[in-house]
Chains A and B, each alone.
Chain A
Amino acid sequence: MLLVKDALSAILRRAVPTVEQGTLVAVAGMLLDIPRRDVLLIASTEGGIRHLTQGQKWVAFAGYPLLEKMLATEPKDLYKFLFQPCENASLLLGSISSESDLTSVLESFYRTRFGYAMVESADSFGIVTLTDILLLLEQGRLDTDLRVRDVASSPVFSLPGGTSFREALHEMMRRRVRRVRIEGSDRFVSDREVLMYIFSPARLRMVRKSSEVMLDATLEEAGYTEAIRVDDDMKLGEASAIIKPGSGNCLTMEGEGLVTPWDLVMKPWRTGRLHAGGGVDP
Chain B
Amino acid sequence: MGERPARKSFHDLLERLEKEGYTVKLDTSVVGRSGVIHHVDLLAEGKVGKRAIVGLEGRGKNPVEEMMTVFAIAFDAGAEPYYVTEGNVEERIAEFYGIKCVAKGRPPLRGPLRDGTG
Contacts and interface: CB of A to CB of B under 8 A. Distances in A.
Interface in A51-110: 79-80, 82-85
B34 A20 contact: no
B65 A79 contact: no
Contact of B117 (A22, A31, A34, A45): A22
B14 interface: no
B34 A80 contact: yes
Contact of B75 (A23, A45, A208): A208
A202 to B, nearest CB: 10
Contacts of A85: 115, 117
B61 interface: yes
B58 to A, nearest CB: 13
Interface in B58-97: 60-61, 64-65, 68-69, 71-73, 75-76, 90, 93, 96-97
Given A23-B115, A201-B98, A34 B64 contact: yes
B41 to A, nearest CB: 16
Contact of B115 (A24, A30, A201): A24
A34 B35 contact: no
A87 B100 CA distance: 29
A127 interface: no
A10 interface: no
Interface residues of B, number: 25
B25 interface: no
A89 to B, nearest CB: 13
Given A22-B114, A201-B96, A201-B97, A27 B72 contact: yes
Given A45-B60, A80-B35, A31 B65 contact: yes
B43 to A, nearest CB: 17
Given A19-B65, A82-B34, A83-B72, A27 B117 contact: no
B64 A31 contact: yes
A22 B116 CA distance: 7
A26 B72 contact: yes
A31 B115 CA distance: 14
Interface in A1-36: 19-20, 22-24, 26-27, 30-31, 34
A31 B36 contact: no
B64 to A, nearest CB: 5
A204 interface: yes
B72 A24 contact: yes
A22 B98 CA distance: 23
A22 B96 contact: no
Contacts of B68: 27, 30-31, 34
B32 interface: yes
Contact of B69 (A23, A79, A204): A23
Q: Counting chain A CB atoms within 10 Å of each CB, which of B33, B96, B115 scores highest?
A: B115
A19 B115 CA distance: 12
A83 B116 CA distance: 9
Contacts of A208: 33, 75-76
Ranked 6 nearest A-B pairs via Cβ: A83-B34, A83-B36, A27-B68, A26-B72, A24-B115, A80-B34
17 contacts: A20-B61, A22-B116, A27-B69, A30-B71, A31-B65, A31-B68, A34-B90, A34-B93, A45-B60, A79-B34, A85-B117, A201-B71, A201-B75, A201-B97, A201-B98, A208-B75, A208-B76
Interface of A: 19-20, 22-24, 26-27, 30-31, 34, 45, 79-80, 82-85, 201, 204, 208
